[in-house]
Amino acid sequence: MARSEPFVVSEQACEVEAWADASRGAVKWRTLLSNDRTPSDSLTMGVAELTEAADAPFRLHRHAQSEAYYVLAGRGVLRIEDRDHALEPGVAVFIPGGRLHGARAVGSEPLKILYVFAADSFDQIRYDFPPSS
């Protein structure tokens, strides 16, 4: 692992990545901090975007690491376990590791979320998408 160094990164300078399939749903994101891409450690951070018109919401999933969300734009619904939570700009969310969760956008504006994992890099996050019932 490289030594961490101060740096500044622009969201627009980061590559757009995406999932769009029945098993995971539809979401696109840009990874801002991840030690496989940036001189950082201890945190992975990015910006995710979901649209209501997507083929499927970001399906229910879990991962070992805790995750935090901060809603930047749009509106949506976040399901954690068996409870729905409204998402709108200014809302912060903490999701403990191992908890089943998934999100969907509501309305015409994309739901844009800043996400943070307690992990050195994004490739350490192992998503588990249980079969839908």
Tell me which fold the domain 15-124 belongs to.
Answer: Jelly Rolls (2.60.120)
Two tokens at 44? Answer: 């992975």
Judge whether 112 and 47 are in contact, CB under 8 Å: yes
For the chain, the domains span 15-124
pLDDT at res. 57: 83
Q: pLDDT-based confidence at 98, cuts 50/70/90?
A: very high
pLDDT of residue 64 exceeding 60, the answer is yes
- Smallest CA-to-CA distance from 47 within 30, 61, 60, 35 is with 30
pLDDT at res. 79: 97
